[in-house]
Amino acid sequence: MKILSIRQPWAALVVNGIKDVENRTWSTRYRGPVLIHASQRQDDVTMDEIERRFGVRLNSELPLGGIVGVTEIVDCVRPHPSRWHFPGCFAFVFTNSRPLPFVKWKGSLSLRSAPSELLQLCGLSGELDPIEALAATAA
């Protein structure tokens, strides 16, 4: 399983199944489950701007600096028809997104492997492989 850091409020939009793509300047061949890490610093976009541009309103108190949910990367394309896609960027296409209880964790750049300690803290370790664990916890 991998980890991807995203600034709030975008991370919350992803794990709540509202935002179906993440825009990046780089592509990935990885397909599979990804823990969504909310960066320590929030994005400069305001909740009012998100509501005005996308018609979505979120809780204004969003956790920072830890794991907030899980999703699955099923594709990485450019362009993508999602209203969340920014032209010129690669779209990491998500499915099966859902929030998890917040787990404080240090983030870093790029798509990286999740250590087993973090998987345990998130309740995603055990005898199942990460994809089966994701499906089991979603049921």
Taking only the tens place, the pLDDT of each residue in 62-73 is 999 999 999 999
Place of tokens 């909310």: 38
Check whether 136 has a pLDDT greater than 60. no
Check whether 135 has a pLDDT greater than 60. no
| Structural domain 2-138, CATH architecture | Roll (2.30)
Taking only the tens place, the pLDDT of each residue in 103-130 is 999 998 899 999 999 999 999 975 345 5
**What's the chain's Rg over C-alpha atoms?**
14
Separation of alpha carbons 73 and 128, rounded Å: 19
Q: What's this model's pTM, rounded to 2 decimal places?
A: 0.89
Sorted by where each begins, the domain ranges of the chain are 2-138
Separation of alpha carbons 89 and 96, rounded Å: 22
- Of 139, 6, 24, nearest in space to 93 by CA: 24
Can you give the length of the chain in residues? 139
Cα–chain-centroid distance for residue 41? 15
Q: What pLDDT score does 34 carry?
A: 97
Judged by DSSP in three states, 33 sits in strand
Mean pLDDT over the full length of the chain: 91
Cα–chain-centroid distance for residue 60? 18
Q: What pLDDT score does 59 carry?
A: 75
Q: What pLDDT score does 138 carry?
A: 52
Mean pLDDT of all residues in 22-38: 98
Q: What pLDDT score does 61 carry?
A: 85
